[in-house]
Chains A and B, each alone.
Chain A
Amino acid sequence: MEWTFIDTWIVLVGALSAAACALLGNYLVLRRMSMMGDAISHAVLPGLAIAFLITGSRDSLPMLVGAIIVGVVTTFMIQGIDRLSGLDRGASMGVVFTTLFAIGLILIRQAADHVDLDPSCVLYGAIELTPLDTVELFGQEIPQAAITSGLMLMVNLAFVIVFFKELKITSFDPALATTMGFNANVLHYILMTLVAATTIAAFESVGSILVIAMLIVPGAAAHLMTDRLGWMLIISVVFSVLSAFLGHLSAITIPTWFGFQDTSTAGMMALIAGLLFVVVFLFSPRYGVFSRMVNQFLLGLRIVGDDILGFLYRYHELAPANAAPVPVPEIQNALQTDIPVKVMIWNLRRTGLILRQNGGYTLTPSGKKAGKGLIRSHRLWESYLCNVMGYCNTDVHRHAHQFEHFTDTKLQEELSQVTGNPDYDPHNRKIPM
């Protein structure tokens, strides 16, 4: 692989376009309108074609105007059909964008005689060729596409910064926003217009497929990472830049591993965005599938550890002072689990809560304190459930056992107060202080 300045430009153009899309995409995801991105990027085709047919060239300005008009028209049409026909939003979208796409295909076929344009270049773009089409700026040869997408990024950035508050409230609760005097509809149309404009600005360089991917995937991934809108915007931009870089890198390297030549950078960028999403989907600290499983597992282990401490504490409570330490099989038998008990015994020993003596285990002083806290919670809960809630005859022990693991000293205090600081639980066992 040879990395040249061309590759750098490709990545830069890709990153600028992707970041421009990702910024707006956050709001599409939050407003549950992700498919609007898909719909608009298909629907701008006729706008493009008409601009071509009229001007006979691939100038950016007429295209931009055409796209913005079609973008707004699409939004209006979808909303109109949605409201007037009683069809659901998805069907309205499907009707509108496929129709416009079909019109676009027909128009492009008509325009094909005049302009070098085929639908594939709308879909895939030609990001690999963008560094060749340069303009001179500040004495530097800068690709046209980098300037276009850079400008688009600036516009979108300005939009999300200036309207940060308004976008936040209209995305979160349009009805509330309207009562507070923010016009949710106007923002909606501005957003859709910008989506259409971004689609066009990006279309030339990266193709509509990458636009759709970058509108939706980084925003969705960021949504799984954080609950703060500001962070979400930043994370989505990072993801989009990362996808652009890794996408191009893998486009020129991965196929060669299998004996192919390089492949479409735009497609690869979308794919990398997808892979990044999968990683977040699985490993995001709070919302990742795998992270949640690990947390569940750790919580389960912690409960087993608690149970060991509680069991040993009860054992010491009942047994004579010089009773023999409890051997492992007995603990396993009492807790009815094997491996977790072994793991947690190892861990409790490591943290100095239990002590190995004569082939068995006893609590260290700090272990005793921890066990006492658990038993106190347990018996307070029993008192609460029986004396306050009136559940004496049911299995209070079982519920108390479930709750004791989540009872901190504050909750202990509350329980103690509500139950009138009892010394004994309903089973007449002493509640340790």
Chain B
Amino acid sequence: MRNRAKFIHRNLLSILIIVATVLIGTSFSPAVSAGNLATDSLRSDLVRVFMFQDYNTRVVVTGTTLLGLAAGLIGTFLVLRKRALLSDTLSHATLPGIALAFILMTLVSGDGKQLLPLIIGAAIFSVLGTLSVLAIQRFSRLKDDAALGIVLSVYFGLGVALMGMATRMDAGNAAGLSSFIYGKTASMLFSDALLIAGTALVAAIACILFFKEFSMVCFDADYGMTQGWPVARLDFLMMALVILVTVIGLQAVGLILVVALLIIPAASARFWTFRLRNMLWLSGAFGALSGFVGSGVSALMANLPAGAVIVLTASLFFIFSMVFGSARGLLHIGMDRLRLGRKIMDENLLRDLFEWSETNPNEGTPGIEISALKHRRSWTQSALKKTIRRLHRQKTINVYSENRVNLSKSGRLAAFEVVRRHRLWETYLITHADVAPGIVDLSADRIEHVLEPELIRQLEEKLEAETKEKLLSSPHTISFTGADGHRTPKMTR
């Protein structure tokens, strides 16, 4: 519970930014192209599209939104199972199914363009494609990538050949078939939207029902097997859902771009959270939002293929997430790194000052000259200056005239902690080098988190024996073991 609240809290700003960006983006992009159109008509256009006043738009926007939701949900597991490109292969593999179903239906009934047979044909061939990938992986020495590529290109080639035959058939009109490759969002019918709604419902229910099972298969399938879960069947169920979303999404956005809807929202969601449940919903939301905004924008502007706009919207979310994501976004990681760098510099300066004061114990001196400090370590001028300024602001050091600095009272306390930890680590590495060569987590704030108390006590004894005078004569009495020391949970990085 606490965690969820924390998540929402941490992401609130980001969510607001997303919503704002979307709103601004959608209201400005038509404005730019519309140029001198009166704002009134623009507003009425916006209202018309996004308030679903137009029946056609209502169908298309609802359909694509739900498709995005379904793809986002199931795509989460696809990406986490590291099978993103399998979706590419099986969506390409649908083409011969579509063409064959068209030819057969044309020969049988004269009308090839019946949705259900086409979808069934597509599904059959994507299952066949998946099985072919498995067969190549299992029975030859080719790796996954080659298996995926072979099946993708050969099935697609077969599809193209069959399409070629279909389009040159005397009977039937194959003109609309290419919509399965590129999508024909704008001409979505109510029945199509209904089908998508059904798919989205199935995907959502499956993701809720099998949340626990799917996440286990994605994380550690072997372990699931030892527990007796039917991992292979769960795996198949996941892939079946992917296939379902793919074949349903084919004619909405086309067989190449439906892959994007499966992969991109899930990939975007990863930047925002460390929890699978949140990632699932976020991914669904990203997908739905992409569908909503994308189809809306393309309804407002002629000459923009809706499928491509939907994918582009999803990609914009991706870029945004990659930069601003609150969990793994580049900015976030960069800030972390910056903070860590600063912390290291702060600690280095504190240590330098502490060590200097150990050798110059008279209280009266106004501190060490900055230029002398610079030679103790390979400081650059600017880094040293910045660090001094920072620490001065925190009141951990006093800056005197003649460019002299010294630790303040509180700074002395902090520096003592830093020096103690550093020396404990040094002693540990010297005495226990054989036990844990370089594996220990040196950046841990408290040595207690990594080493057990008894070992620390031993190290302290050793350390005290060596540097008896200095640490014992420390002006502050600090309990070495720290009363609350390793009890404090460390929640944030």
Contacts and interface: CB of A to CB of B under 8 A. Distances in A.
Contact of A94 (B181, B259, B307, B330): B259
Nearest to B87: A94
B157 A213 contact: yes
Contact of A38 (B149, B260, B263): B149
Contacts, number: 223
A91 B146 CA distance: 16
A102 B307 contact: yes
B312 A102 contact: yes
A99 B164 CA distance: 28
Contact of A98 (B156, B309, B311): B311
A281 B151 CA distance: 13
Given A94-B260, A260-B165, A106 B154 contact: no
Interface string B120-157: 00000000000000001001111111101110111111
Nearest to B85: A90
Contact of B158 (A34, A219, A271): A271
Contacts of A91: 79, 82, 84, 263, 266-267
A120 B157 contact: no
A263 B308 contact: no
Given A34-B148, A38-B149, A94-B264, A274 B182 contact: no
Interface in A258-283: 260-264, 266-271, 273-274, 277, 281
B267 A35 contact: no
Given A94-B85, A105-B307, A106-B308, A287 B153 contact: no
Interface in A130-168: none
A88 interface: yes
Contacts of A69: none
A94 B155 CA distance: 19
Given A106-B312, A262-B168, A264-B160, A94 B149 contact: no
A270 to B, nearest CB: 2
Contact of B263 (A29, A32, A42, A94): A94
A109 B256 contact: no
Contacts of A273: 153-154, 157
Interface in A91-121: 91-95, 98-99, 101-103, 105-106, 109-110, 119-120
A144 to B, nearest CB: 23
Q: Which of B86, B161, B162 has the most CB of A within 10 A?
A: B161
B312 A99 contact: yes
B335 interface: no
Interface residues of B, number: 63
A220 B146 contact: yes
B165 A270 contact: no
B322 interface: yes
B113 interface: no
Interface string A373-389: 00000000000000000
B164 A263 contact: yes
B429 to A, nearest CB: 29
A209 interface: yes
B160 A124 contact: yes
A268 B165 CA distance: 11
B259 A212 contact: no
Contact of A274 (B140, B158, B256): B158
B257 interface: yes
Contact of A268 (B157, B169, B257, B270): B157
B83 interface: yes
A281 B136 contact: yes
A217 interface: yes
A268 B161 contact: yes
A93 B148 CA distance: 13
B308 A269 contact: no
B163 interface: yes
B11 interface: no
A87 B270 contact: yes
Q: Which of B149, B163, B164, B322 has the most CB of A within 10 A?
A: B149
B303 interface: yes
A27 to B, nearest CB: 12
A251 B161 contact: yes
Interface of B is mostly: helix
Q: Which of A34, A94, A99 has the most CB of B within 10 A?
A: A94
B178 interface: yes
Contacts of A363: none
B364 to A, nearest CB: 53
B347 interface: no
A209 B163 CA distance: 13
A15 interface: no
Interface in B77-97: 79, 82-88
Interface string A26-51: 00010011110110001000000000
B154 A271 contact: yes
Contacts of A90: 82-86
Contact of A270 (B154, B264, B307, B312): B154
Nearest to A263: B164
Contacts of B156: 209, 212-213, 267, 270
Q: Which of A37, A110, A268, A271 has the most CB of B within 10 A?
A: A271
A105 B263 CA distance: 19
Given A85-B267, A216-B153, A99 B260 contact: yes
A38 B88 CA distance: 10
B354 interface: no
A235 interface: no
Interface in B248-266: 256-257, 259-260, 262-264, 266
Contacts of A42: 256
20 contacts: A29-B142, A42-B256, A85-B328, A87-B79, A95-B318, A101-B308, A102-B307, A102-B309, A105-B305, A106-B312, A119-B182, A123-B160, A213-B156, A223-B141, A223-B146, A263-B168, A267-B163, A273-B157, A277-B154, A287-B140
Interface pairs A-B: 7 shortest CB-CB: A270-B157, A274-B154, A267-B160, A98-B260, A263-B164, A264-B164, A267-B161
Given A87-B267, A102-B312, A215-B153, 13 more contacts: A88-B82, A94-B262, A101-B256, A109-B303, A213-B154, A255-B168, A266-B157, A269-B157, A270-B160, A274-B155, A277-B154, A287-B140, A289-B139
